[in-house]
Structure 1
Amino acid sequence: MRETLSIAMGVLSIVEAALLAACGLLAHFLLNPAWGPVGWYPAGSLALGVAAIPLLRLFGAYRVSQTHPLDPRVFQALVGWMAVFAVFLAFLNLTQTTEVFSRSWIVATFTLGVLALLLARAVALRYLRQLANAGRLGPRVAVIGRGQALHDVAQAVLRDPFGLARLIEAHDLGRDPEAAMQRLIATIRAGKVSEVLIALEEPNGTLEALIHPLKSEAVAVHLALPSSLRGVPVLGFDRPAGIPALALSEVPLSGWSSVVKRVEDLVLGALLLILAAPMMGLIALAILLAMGRPILFRQHRLGFNNNTFAVYKFRTMTTAEDGAVVPQARRDDPRITPLGRILRRTSLDELPQLMNVLRGDMSLVGPRPHAVSHNTHYAALIDGYLGRHRVKPGITGWAQVNGLRGETDTPDKMRRRLEYDLHYIENWSLLFDLRIIAQTITILLGDRNAY
């Protein structure tokens, strides 16, 4: 909930900065309908808008309240706007440039800014309330547990004091815990749940059995504090849906991280696709002349949240398996054509996956997606294997730039790849992604593990 609201506040800060800068230009136009000499007025207007972001933030205008998350914080915004003008006037006095801006323009800009902030806050509050009523602002919660604890936590979610949380499902472990867990995981993979609350009066050994499968899913997991301890102040506890709970697992990329990651994919993905378009056209023509149709190879693979998607590559083999059994490519594989060997060696066969990136199925950087049959095989052999699907798969990844490309024909090789994938997931940053992309470019031609 707080992450969603933080993003909304970030967007609001940019919108309000633009509005406040526009107020300065509007004030100049209203005072000079003929739009006389503009002088320093555009620069002054821009300076006010830019200064508004840090100063309004400093006074708490964009802070998400823990107790009143939909508080419009109008007072804080107006105080911040007053601070902007105080700093602006102080700067004019220090530089002895007060005559550059007329007093009437200063008064008009300040007044218009107050009206703009009031209007922006009213519109933002109405929009956020609409999102809250539609269940799109707060957490979508599933509760799993036993007996009275399950009932109490489910009722507490329904009575969320913020009115934002939505109870999607409640699963009673009852006589068949495995079936209850399978139903919960199916709901998570359908994208209906963003948060799981475990409700047990006496966790004991049951808790570990619940956490183990949930840690491989793209969902936040919390242990609700037993009712007997809810009145006790405990440091380090979150309050999902107003319920004191201990965070056991978080979604790796959420809030602003997910926004930055998607913008990175859209901007760099589109740029790379434009640059690669002529090369892709030549490769398509070469495949058509050398091997005939189809030009592209399409295969189903497991992606984010353990859901399947169709990945695209340039065809490099005489066959195109996409079934229950998909043999991995190996060195001197007879299925690989001479042209295909060149494309695979240089990784040019991966270029069509830029379309997967723009569609949102993949990311530029992330764990490499494996065929569904390979995933099924290794998930049964390696503990925590499916945890690599808590983020979108990538065209390149931390494992690949560390030499772990090509065939993974043994569990040990896959475990090594998994270690690098999980390290990437837990330590993601924009700089980390850019580092991996740069390393990928530098090692492509010298790679000896691609075949």
Structure 2
Amino acid sequence: MSLEFLTVTAAAYLASKLYHHAVVPDAIAAARYLPAALLLATLYCVSTLWLGDPALLLAFRRRQLLWNAVRATVLSFCFLLSGMFLLKTSLEYSRGAFFAQLVTVCLATLALRGILIRRQERALGQGRLALRRAFLIGDPAASSALSKRLDANGVVTIAQFPLSSLDADQPSSMTRELIEACRSLAVDEIFVLPQPSELESVRPVLDQLSQLPVAVHVMVPGLDGLLSSSEISAFGDVTTMKVQGEPLSAADELLKRGFDIVVSALLLVTLAPLMLMIGALVKLTSPGPALFRQVRHGFNNKAITVLKFRTMQVRTDDKCEDFRQAARNDDRVTWVGAMLRATSIDELPQLFNVLRGEMSLVGPRPHAVAHNKMFEERIPPLSRRHNVKPGITGWAQVNRLRGETDTLQKMQRRIDHDLFYVDNWSFYFDLKIMFLTALLLFSRKNYQNSY
């Protein structure tokens, strides 16, 4: 926190000084920004405490720590701006200097946290850093496996005890020994790993461990991976463990939908001349309609009609049930279609699908119904990718998992990336994918899987 305080102060002051030196030369005005820089640094540190960064640091939540650097920066500048407005001093603060400080502080704090996280990772890997100290109680094999995983995250295992050695009915010598060891060694965490046959004896052991002022965790047998996204939920006096929730809250859906409407409408207006020209080119160079319509799976497996510029020749002998995915050097693809596919321009009409609410700008790419049926039995979680709206671009696409999925391995990799997006959605994640998509459009590497 001391490093961040100094970093924010220096970044804010130097940004204002350089701005006034380069844009509005005024040495006296630049000197007045030092108190504001100190105030910004204080507000930033208070914001990090409010966002729970100390707990995230102990839990080694790297991604959240980086995201919170941005959030704390925005919060501190919002508080500063609100204070200046209430005190009627905002006119004395240059708007250019304000935005220069905002960008500089954001980049500086992200860079600092990135460096510190890397140092922390190296220290953990070399065994020079222990964030927490733990006792493990349970099956020796399971305890050893968990110990290795905890050690990689800065939690050092002090000792392991078999659960069967603790008397569930009354304190035994082993129980008393465990409790005294926890007190003398300043243990931070206790992990209890029962076998299915030992579940009945866990509650009495937890009652005995309750006399220790430490965190006690119970690992539910067989549900370790499932619990990673679970939370405790309550309905009156009924308490449950919710292992799956809605991918997006009502507020998240409103934000995502609002962003989709605004951006898709702007893109349609801006790109209308280009789309009309492409439609005419497709129509004039090969017989058939300019747009290709295909039924695909959308949100919650609902069938939707997806629009694309037609890139293939229309053949009267083709049957609907004879589904064949486009492949490299496919003789059905027209010369105009090849260019459209290479640049992904054939997807532009899907902006209408986004505007109608059938698709989103970012999400798992919609597959043809026949394509899904080829893999849904061999990849059981496949339909879970439809828990969010399909998108024009997605996490799999920016990781160059585009094009033909003619093997189970190719489809599995795409599904894995789609499910990662579903489980880790955030508005920031959407913006990141859109930025990476824009970069890929100008990259020749994007063309290698354009089919």
Smaller-chain TM-score bracket = 0.3 to 0.5
Q: Which one scores higher on RCO, CA 8 angstroms, separation ≥ 6?
A: 1
TM-score, normalised by the number of residues in structure 2: 0.47
TM-score, normalised by the number of residues in structure 1: 0.47
